[in-house]
Amino acid sequence: MARSASALRGQILESALRLFAVHGFRGTSLQDIASDAGCSKASLLYHFAGKEAILTELLTPARDAVATLLGRVAGLEGGRLVEETVTGYVDLALRYRREIQLLFEHIAEMSCHEDLGVMELADGLLDALAGRSRQAPARVAAWMVLGAVFITSASDEEVAPDEVLRAEMIRSALRTLDHTLS
Amino acid sequence: MARSASALRGQILESALRLFAVHGFRGTSLQDIASDAGCSKASLLYHFAGKEAILTELLTPARDAVATLLGRVAGLEGGRLVEETVTGYVDLALRYRREIQLLFEHIAEMSCHEDLGVMELADGLLDALAGRSRQAPARVAAWMVLGAVFITSASDEEVAPDEVLRAEMIRSALRTLDHTLS
DNA sequence: GTCAGTTCTGACCGATCGGACAGCTACGGT
DNA sequence: ACCGTAGCTGTCCGATCGGTCAGAACTGAC
């Protein structure tokens, strides 16, 4: 039976996001997604141009959110820049846990593949976390915060409730960057 | 021509390690490895029981090194415990860059798959980094250091020479853990 | 030279992958 | 009642995957 509008579309995206996050992009077949979403594989390819299109649609909101964050901190500098970037990044990482997990995995899998500026966004985030500094210590610490927040928010083990996790991640990240909340 | 002893074996392992690190385990086919190593796919399966066996043999040294590190810091506590664990982990991460990269990716891909205590080793590392503490702040910071060192050492971008990278990673990690070198 | 044993390979296999396509069903406009 | 269109599916396809196997090619001992 034909469901109303794109009810199935949302279900497909949800199933794909969950399965991609658990088994990875390559480790999840279109049949897996179809079975989970309760439809046929052919239905997937009616709603989406292909497997890559599903991935793109899943990653777009998170990517746009990061781009928005970068735009918001573009005019800042010094302490405010670092604080806003860290809190913004932690918030995004927690809100888009699985999407960011996917994004990093996707970078590892398809390194040479162009992804509409994913690497540029990571570079921008790195720059802001480093407080626009080009010095090695700041750059290394920024890299570490980038990975730390990612891994911690993506880990499914419940080390702490989200509010506690958020607060501690922000505090730890600022310590890593040798910066204390003003 | 039949090469002496296991000359080809080493070449296969080297090719597999490099390709796995770039394209991932699932993203690398046996044919890819064979072509890179300059032999036939059937040769791979003469030297190794299967694709999984290659991965296992690649990961074993790094896994054993982590186990050795955990044994070395097992008797320590307090400041010494954290310092030794951090420096040891950073050293291992830099020495086994690609292997640890693989290990994390492997965890993400085959989460439910038993891997001879990989999760136990990660837990042990986490425990030591947290200074055996069970408090949320210490646990979160330990998670962040775990991910930070991994991402930073696995990133192929040369943010800094290895010696500088090592020193800065250790200093930043200790800051993250709210701990300064005594 | 002969022969046993190791190393290596081409050809092949079943399974699974992403995707294409014709056609079925339900529904809203006329 | 008719029909166009959107939603959906069964079926098929070529490509590629990991893995098997019989046998060629080479090596060292005798």
Question: Measured between alpha carbons, how far is B153 from A151 in angstroms, rounded to an integer?
Answer: 14
Judged by average pLDDT, the poorest of A56-60, A167-171, B111-115, B124-128 is: B111-115
Question: Measured between alpha carbons, how far is A31 from A53 in angstroms, rounded to an integer?
Answer: 16
Tens of pLDDT, residue by residue over A54-80, are: 999 999 999 999 999 999 999 998 899
- Quick one: A7-48 is in which CATH superfamily? Homeodomain-like (1.10.10.60)
Give the residue, A105 or A17, on which the prediction is more confident: A17
Q: Above 80 in pLDDT, residue B34?
A: yes
Question: Measured between alpha carbons, how far is A130 from B8 in angstroms, rounded to an integer?
Answer: 45
User: Is B146 in Cβ contact with A144 (below 8 Å)?
Assistant: no
| Chain D nucleotides reached by a protein CB under 7 Å | 6-11, 16-22, 25-28
**Chain B neighbours among A 102-131 (CB < 8 Å)?**
105, 108-111
Q: Above 80 in pLDDT, residue A44?
A: yes
Would you state the pLDDT for residue A1? 46
Distance A104 CA to C14 C1' (A): 34
Q: What is the mean pLDDT of residues A107-129?
A: 78
Task: For residue A159, give the DSSP letter.
Answer: S
Tens of pLDDT, residue by residue over A16-27, are: 999 999 898 999
Domain boundaries, chain B: 7-48, 59-176
3-state secondary structure of B180: coil
Would you state the pLDDT for residue A2? 47
Return the percentage of chain B with pLDDT > 90, whole number: 71
Task: For residue B2, give the DSSP letter.
Answer: P
**Does B162 lie at the interface with A, CB-CB under 8 angstroms?**
no
> In this structure, which amino acid lies at residue B82?
V
